[in-house]
Copies of this chain bind each other. A is one copy, B any other.
Amino acid sequence: MRKQKGNAAYIKNMNIKIVLDCIIEHEPISRSEISKRVMISKPTVSQLVNHLIVEGFVYETGMGNSTTTGGRKPVQLCFNPKTSYLIGVDIGGSKVASGITDLKGRVYSYREFATQEFLDEGLFKRLHTDIEEMLTELKLTTKNVLGIGVGVAGVTDIEKGVVINAPALAWQNCPIREKLSTYFELPIFVDNDVNISVLGEHWIGAGVDKTNIIYISIGTGIGSGIILNGNLYRGSNYSAGEFGYQVTDRQMARNFNPVVEGFGFLESMSGGISIGQQLSEKIKKQVTAKEAFEMADNGDENAQEVIQFAIENLGLGISNYISLFDPEIIILGGGISGSYPIFKDQLDEIIKKFTPRKCEVIPAKLGKEAGVIGACALLLKEYDSIYTI
């Protein structure tokens, strides 16, 4: 079908969402005030609110105060974030995290296990056990759950729910949704891990109230997720935001060979693995990127040189990103972003020099549970329930 046609049910669904959004944003709020704010007549608002109360999304909470000019006291309405719970899963190269949140993104339970131990076999079974345990712990059944959101470290076909290619997991064309639906009779949504990270930050993290957001993850590799006009932008082949492939140095690019097969140019200059390798070669001793940052901070000249080089390229890449997207904000996440204070100044200077207008760069706000929260955000974004973000 080309386009959604309109009918009565469609407009009711539309208006009930407007009313619910208004309640969430301004709770506690009365029917009357909703009517004024969203410009829908009082009787209609009342009817929609009743609907929301029956569904459990909203409840009445006593009376408010009348104005000084007199008049009946308003009945206050509040949003109930525990109408439904959300299951979020983050399948990364090192660990598989899962958790259960309410509709406001509060995490009530969290579990994780090492990916590698279950990669060959039993990963989904183990995941199922973890989730069942958490549900029991919280005294919930699948009836109380809206669905499952999943983030995977790889390019994902979100329509089919298939991971097209995930080097970190050695997966190709893995039908995640299908596999999970043998364990759960719930709606399941799958997307790339960087994409769910932006969604999470947009929902309750560093990107709240922003509409154009770039999230850059700098870990072993480099990737990014993009929110434009409030919605995830995925590109024509689910592979927008391949920030690791930026080329920032024409001369080095000429005889460029990836550090790791499948790594892009910028990844090979500024990624975690690359930083570790560069310094290791220089000092003939095996070190990690994190150690490199520490050494640099402690004044080691070799380390400083490597970091400086990596950040210079990263900074140019980010400058280019800003010039093309004109985002409101750049959020830095991933392992390396923990060392943000160390390289902040150098980065800012480069960005200032090469972009036509400045753009705020800040570190990610969500911590360990970011993946789970993001996966839940994906679910709320994609699943067509009354409450959508």
Interface residues of A (CB under 8 A from B): 1-8, 10-12, 14-15, 18, 21-22, 38-40, 211-212, 224, 226, 228-229, 233-243, 245-253, 264-265, 312-313, 316, 319-321, 323-328, 354-357
Report 6 cross-chain contacts, Cβ distance below 8 Å, ordered by A residue.
Answer: A5-B40, A6-B6, A6-B11, A239-B326, A242-B326, A243-B323
Given contacts A239-B356, A324-B240, contact A21 B2 (CB under 8 A): yes
CA distance A14 to B240 in the complex (A): 31
Closest B residue to A242 by CB, please name it. Answer: B323
Cβ contact within 8 Å between B228 and A233: yes
Given contacts A5-B40, A354-B247, contact A236 B15 (CB under 8 A): no
Cβ contact within 8 Å between A38 and B2: yes
**What 11 additional pairs, Cβ within 8 angstroms, besides A241-B324, A264-B323?**
A1-B39, A2-B22, A3-B18, A228-B228, A229-B233, A234-B326, A236-B327, A238-B326, A239-B356, A253-B316, A324-B324
Q: Which residues of B contact A313 (CB under 8 A)?
A: 250
Min CB distance, A19 to chain B, in Å? Answer: 9
Given contacts A1-B39, A6-B10, A11-B11, contact A316 B247 (CB under 8 A): yes
Cβ contact within 8 Å between A355 and B2: no
The contact of A326 among B1, B11, B235, B319, by CB within 8 Å, is B235
Closest B residue to A251 by CB, please name it. Answer: B251
Closest B residue to A16 by CB, please name it. Answer: B6
Q: Which residues of B contact A354 (CB under 8 A)?
A: 245, 247, 253, 264-265
Cβ contact within 8 Å between A264 and B324: no
Given contacts A6-B10, A14-B5, A265-B354, contact A248 B248 (CB under 8 A): yes
Closest B residue to A309 by CB, please name it. Answer: B250
Closest B residue to A1 by CB, please name it. Answer: B39
Min CB distance, A74 to chain B, in Å? Answer: 21
Cβ contact within 8 Å between A243 and B324: yes
Closest B residue to A210 by CB, please name it. Answer: B236
Q: Which residues of B contact A264 (CB under 8 A)?
A: 323, 354, 356
The contact of A323 among B11, B39, B246, by CB within 8 Å, is B246
Q: Which residues of B contact A12 (CB under 8 A)?
A: 6
CA distance A356 to B247 in the complex (A): 12
Cβ contact within 8 Å between A328 and B236: yes
Cβ contact within 8 Å between B246 and A249: no
Min CB distance, A64 to chain B, in Å? Answer: 22
Cβ contact within 8 Å between A320 and B11: no
Min CB distance, A47 to chain B, in Å? Answer: 14
The contact of A319 among B11, B38, B247, by CB within 8 Å, is B247
Cβ contact within 8 Å between B323 and A320: no
Cβ contact within 8 Å between B326 and A237: yes
Q: Which residues of B contact A320 (CB under 8 A)?
A: 245-247, 320
CA distance A7 to B8 in the complex (A): 8
CA distance A68 to B302 in the complex (A): 84
The contact of A10 among B5, B11, B249, B253, by CB within 8 Å, is B11
The contact of A240 among B4, B21, B242, B325, by CB within 8 Å, is B325
Closest B residue to A6 by CB, please name it. Answer: B11
Closest B residue to A250 by CB, please name it. Answer: B249
CA distance A211 to B240 in the complex (A): 14
CA distance A52 to B261 in the complex (A): 59
Cβ contact within 8 Å between A236 and B326: yes
